[in-house]
Amino acid sequence: MQYRLIIQPKAKKTIKELERTNPKKLKRVNKTLGQMEAGLEAPGLNPHPYKGWKTDDGYQVFEVYVENKTPGAYRIFWFYGSGRKEITILEITPHP
């Protein structure tokens, strides 16, 4: 299933910061965003609900892996938009 990504300001800020500070990490983030857009079935994404976090509107927040078993591994936090054909990217951050 093809998704439309809606990237929130906090996630955009992280992308801009990675452009300046860590192009290698940015490449991995962009690859992951591309995989998410194409569908969440890509190996390694491991989409799953993030326990204890819902949006103000009550949507369940999920996370996918940008990296795994890496110090400072990045995660992307997101939720399904209307009709489940949209994914709203909330944050791109090192693993909490």
pLDDT digits (tens, 9 = 90+) for 21-50: 999 999 999 999 999 999 988 888 999 999
Residue 7 burial class via C-beta count within 10 angstroms: exposed 0-12, middle 13-18, buried 19 and up:
middle
Asked if the structure places residue 49 within a domain, the reply is: no
Which two tokens mark 74?
Answer: 């990045």
Asked if the structure places residue 86 within a domain, the reply is: yes
In one letter, which amino acid is 67?
Answer: E
Asked if the structure places residue 91 within a domain, the reply is: yes
Asked if the structure places residue 95 within a domain, the reply is: yes
Asked if the structure places residue 80 within a domain, the reply is: yes
- Provide the domain limits for residue 72: 65-96
- DSSP annotation of 51 reads E
How many separate domains does the chain show?
1
Asked if the structure places residue 45 within a domain, the reply is: no
* Per-residue model confidence as pLDDT tens digits over 67-82: 888 888 999 999 998 7
Which two tokens mark 50?
Answer: 């993030």
